[in-house]
Amino acid sequence: MWEFEAWQERTKHVTLPYDKNATPSRTSLSLEELAAVRALAARIHAYPSFRKRVNEYLAKDDNDTLGKAAWNKWFLKVNGGWNMKKDMELSLDMHERHPRLLIGTIGGVSGRQ
């Protein structure tokens, strides 16, 4: 099961920028950026559904420009070291469920004949 604890272990216990323990030295964000991310997270996490949270994050008519920029800055810095995409592909391949395989079975474009 993919739970928060598993994510923390996988990411070497990374500190999220909106966590109360986040500091500039742990996140490489300034105090102003951390405050902006926390404000953004508080607003976004107030919505109960994931879809609504995503829609709110993508909204253009809000005052969260600095928070979004800081979140993206942090995420781009740390995401590369997690190897999530590679691990997911290996897991899907192991269970023969990778999209490459599914495309071939439903008549989509693939290298198979």
CB 13 within 8 A of CB 66: no
What does the DSSP assignment read for the chain? Answer: ---HHHHHHHTTSPPPTTSTT--HHHHS--HHHHHHHHHHHHHHHTSSSHHHHHHHHH-SSSS-HHHHHHHHHHHHHHHGGG-HHHHHHHHHHHTT--HHHHHHHTT-S-S--
Short-list 45, 44, 68, CA closest to 56 = 44
* Model confidence pLDDT, tens digit, residues 19-60: 998 999 999 999 999 999 999 999 999 998 989 999 989 988
Contacts of 59 (CB under 8 A, 6+ apart): none
- Residue 67 vs residue 9, higher pLDDT: 67
pTM of the model: 0.67
pLDDT at 36: 96
